[in-house]
Structure 1
Amino acid sequence: MVHPSKTVAVIGGGMVGACIARYLQRDGHNVIILDPNEPGDGASFGNAGCFNPSSLVPIAGPDTFKQVPGYLMDPLGPLSIRWSYLLQVTPWLVRYGLAGVPEKIKHQSLALKSILSRSLEALMPLVDDCGAHDLVRRDGILIVYRSGQSVASDSRGWNLRREHGIHWEELDRDAVRDFDPNLTRDIQFGKFVPGNGHTVNPGALVKEIVRHVVQSGGQYRKVRATDFLFNGDKLQAVLTDHGPVTVDMAVVAAGAHSKALARAAGNSVPLESERGYHVMIKTPEVRPRVPTTDSDHKFVVTPMQEGVRVAGTVELAGLDAKPNWKRAEILLNRIGGLYPALGKTYRPDDFTVWMGHRPSLPDSLPVMGRSKRSADVIYAFGHQHVGMTAAPYTGVIIAALAAGRPSPVDLTPFQPDRF
């Protein structure tokens, strides 16, 4: 146990920030979470809710550059780029493409494995602390395919998973139907990954962890962090829109909004927002047995407390552009192709839509490590598509850094100056 002499500001009240705050608190630190919004109301609220240690496949692949014209021409495709944002996002896209070469993918997947493989192991103590067992399931996930060609197109990722010891069960058409009879009969193949899990309410899970942090003596302040005050290389305070917050140390875990804070602490980081959308069907006719990914159309259907969530798509349009709600509507239109009983005409009050910002670096790895300006500012952002999964073990890592202990994983791949 570390002597509780350090007061640490955790900037960001999402899943990553909440897990870091609780692990810091378990180490004996005084914790103040800073966020202008309620806990878990950002990207953590709207994701597919999955805990996937198997998600160690980097997003960029060898054919990335070839796909960019398609991203531009299809505004409703699984990944799209707004023409108005193309010039601004081009440097990020170049880095993204260059990261998708086989040798780099190998190293990136190893780095992802190091923070994902112990994710559920790191999550459960936090769930135990706050008594949120009703929000967590460990029933696995299912990925389904309509053809052998679709399976082949995913082979690079599954080969990587096999190399890293991920186990799954191969399901043929009959086995898929036995597993979940509500799926369309068009499904020919499936892969069931028993080592994965999900939360039935990601926003509520974050709130429960934060509630326990506050109940245990921490603070949650609804303020926006804007800058840092240093005395030499020592941090004195985090500056906010409601005045300075005096602290000994700060952790930047503000997701897609971390870029300016990193710059204030001396690092230029190519952080981009991958805007994601979801539709929540409030009273579904059927529910998936487990979170189920439609590999052909790139969306995930998750059974949740408030209904069935259909989540997916990536849109590159920055932090400020208005949502394109047609991207959410396309998810609603396509769900019937996976679960026929859900393919109906919905009234506006039958569902809700959402858009949020995944914080993404071009090499699919988050930034974790100390800032250039001061060792008192630590970064933990950019978790892209693995934020829910990686958050608990990120908390373990950041708590070690804050205490001056060696990191339990090699942080070289995650350094803020790697770009």
Structure 2
Amino acid sequence: MSKDAPLTVAVTGAGVVGLCAALEVQRAGHHVLLIEPGEPGGRQAASYGNATWINPGAIVPISLPGLWRKVPGFLLDRTGPFTVRWRDLPRHAGWLARFVAAGRDWDRIAICARHRYPLCKETVTDHQAYATEAGVGHLIRQQGLVYVYPDRAAFAAERRIWAMRRELGVRFSEIEEAELRRLQPELSPTYRFGARLDGAGQIADPGAYCAALAQLLEARGARRIVARATGFSLDGGRLSAVTTDQGPVACQRAVLAAGIGSAGLARLAGDHVPLISERGYHVVIPEPGVELGAGLMPSDGQMGIVSTPQGLRLAGQVELADPAAAPDWRRAKRFDAAEIDRWMGNRPSTPDGLPCIGFASGSPDIVHAFGHAHTGLTQAPATGKLVAALIDGREPPFDPTPYSARRFAR
């Protein structure tokens, strides 16, 4: 709880990151204004369509050593787990160069993993607490997550990644074929070895969860404003309002958590962040005839496979493309039945595998909280706690320096 007079804090964006930040700011005793043009938990949000995982082991960025050799394949294979649309290559070339450079050696990956870990470490415990407060504790499932491989050799090929997890204290168990068959009898015989992240879990219905958090905020006094943030009213770097398409919203502090829309707002706050859409896809198969306990990640598919109340969800993969471009459903061509639900969303991604969290360069009254790419669900609670501490002037729970947007100005 803040020792000073309560502030009025506008949170721009009601995705899971914005909602967790709003809850923590509210918990600190401040008045929250939640600015969001859509319905919290709606299909328009990246928070709606993820793989549902909350994963303490989500410490490794996508860009890894040797990735540059695969770039031609990304351009040629439009349905692979990582693809780049040809027509968007010129506008994404600078981002891609930074992306490849960020993963050029394992020392850099280890540093990135150490910075990501504080954002992931307590995710299951924190989400369970939020869900309980919001009356949706049943949405949190804590049965672990299983990465499945053709054999132990394929697992050993990723030994550096698993070693990093072990060194940071992420618990996992190796699973031989017999145990894998017992845990998931329907699993294809192609997969004969697994590694289970024992402390991980899932939020069975992220959309319903986000809607419940928004309702909790409002029940505790937050005010939701249906509008799209367009900028900031600043005088000498001090904030007086967030401007929106429905008029100004007076406030003393602002949290920028507008997902893919954050880059333009960040520029107005003094920071030029290379943020692009890491577009994610999912399909949901209703009544699939199989119920998964733990979520699955096939090593050759790079997608999360999970059971949800709506059916079996296959989610993930990466497509770098213009946010406004039409979805490319060729990657889901095997799922053409009318009853299959298909979704595509824009995940805001920086090239170095870290989000932007911290004070804006142009104002000490604006705090960034965006750029979490495909791990926003996992990293949202820790981001919210860090944001609230910064706004409140308290000692942060961990060092915010690695996440500063100023790193892109160097």
Residue 69 of structure 2 aligns with an amino acid whose one-letter code is K
Residue 80 of structure 1 aligns with an amino acid whose one-letter code is T
**Unaligned 5+ residue runs, structure 2?**
none
Residue 234 (structure 2) aligns with: 230
Tell me by how many angstroms 1:258 deviates.
0.5
Candidates 48, 53, 57, aligned match of 1:54: 57
Candidates 296, 314, 317, aligned match of 1:313: 317
Tell me by how many angstroms 1:256 deviates.
1.4
SS in 2 for 1:91: helix
User: Structure 2 length normalisation: TM-score?
Assistant: 0.96
SS in 2 for 1:45: coil
Residue 62 of structure 2 aligns with an amino acid whose one-letter code is I
Stretch moving more, 119-128 or 393-402? 119-128
Residues 183-228 of structure 1: per-residue CA shift (max 9 Å, x gap): 1122110111110010110011011011000111101112100110
d(CA) in 1 for partners of 2:293, 2:252: 47
Q: Is the 8 A contact 1:369 1:415 kept in 2?
A: yes
Tell me by how many angstroms 1:314 deviates.
0.4
Residue 375 (structure 2) aligns with: 386
d(CA) in 1 for partners of 2:163, 2:6: 47
Stretch moving more, 130-139 or 370-379? 130-139
Residues 53-91 of structure 1: per-residue CA shift (max 9 Å, x gap): 011112111112111001001001110000000000000
User: Structure 1 residues 148, 194: closer, same or farther in 2, change over 3 A?
Assistant: closer
Residue 247 (structure 1) aligns with: 251
User: Structure 1 length normalisation: TM-score?
Assistant: 0.94
Q: Is the 8 A contact 1:132 1:208 kept in 2?
A: yes
RMSD: 1.2
Residues 4-28 of structure 1: per-residue CA shift (max 9 Å, x gap): 5211011111000011111111111
Residue 33 of structure 2 aligns with an amino acid whose one-letter code is I
d(CA) in 2 for partners of 1:359, 1:284: 31
Tell me by how many angstroms 1:411 deviates.
1.1
d(CA) in 2 for partners of 1:328, 1:153: 28
1:256 aligns to 2:256 (yes or no): no
d(CA) in 1 for partners of 2:145, 2:28: 33
Q: Is the 8 A contact 1:238 1:247 kept in 2?
A: yes
SS in 2 for 1:375: strand
Tell me by how many angstroms 1:149 deviates.
4.2
Residue 40 (structure 2) aligns with: 39
d(CA) in 2 for partners of 1:6, 1:394: 19
Q: Is the 8 A contact 1:123 1:393 kept in 2?
A: no
Residue 415 (structure 1) aligns with: 404
Q: Is the 8 A contact 1:53 1:113 kept in 2?
A: yes
Q: Is the 8 A contact 2:277 2:322 kept in 1?
A: yes
Residues 309-357 of structure 1: per-residue CA shift (max 9 Å, x gap): 0112100012111111112335x4xxxxxxxxxxxxx6312x1000001
Tell me by how many angstroms 1:120 deviates.
2.2
**Unaligned 5+ residue runs, structure 1?**
333-345
d(CA) in 1 for partners of 2:333, 2:244: 37
d(CA) in 1 for partners of 2:269, 2:303: 37
Residue 414 of structure 1 aligns with an amino acid whose one-letter code is Y
d(CA) in 2 for partners of 1:347, 1:58: 34
Residue 152 (structure 1) aligns with: 156
Candidates 267, 279, 282, aligned match of 1:278: 282
Candidates 348, 365, 374, aligned match of 2:363: 374
1:75 aligns to 2:78 (yes or no): yes
Q: Is the 8 A contact 1:150 1:296 kept in 2?
A: no
1:65 aligns to 2:55 (yes or no): no
d(CA) in 2 for partners of 1:406, 1:415: 16
Residues 370-391 of structure 1: per-residue CA shift (max 9 Å, x gap): 0011100000101112110110
Residue 23 (structure 1) aligns with: 24
Residues 206-253 of structure 1: per-residue CA shift (max 9 Å, x gap): 110110001111011121001100121210100000000000000001
d(CA) in 2 for partners of 1:366, 1:186: 36
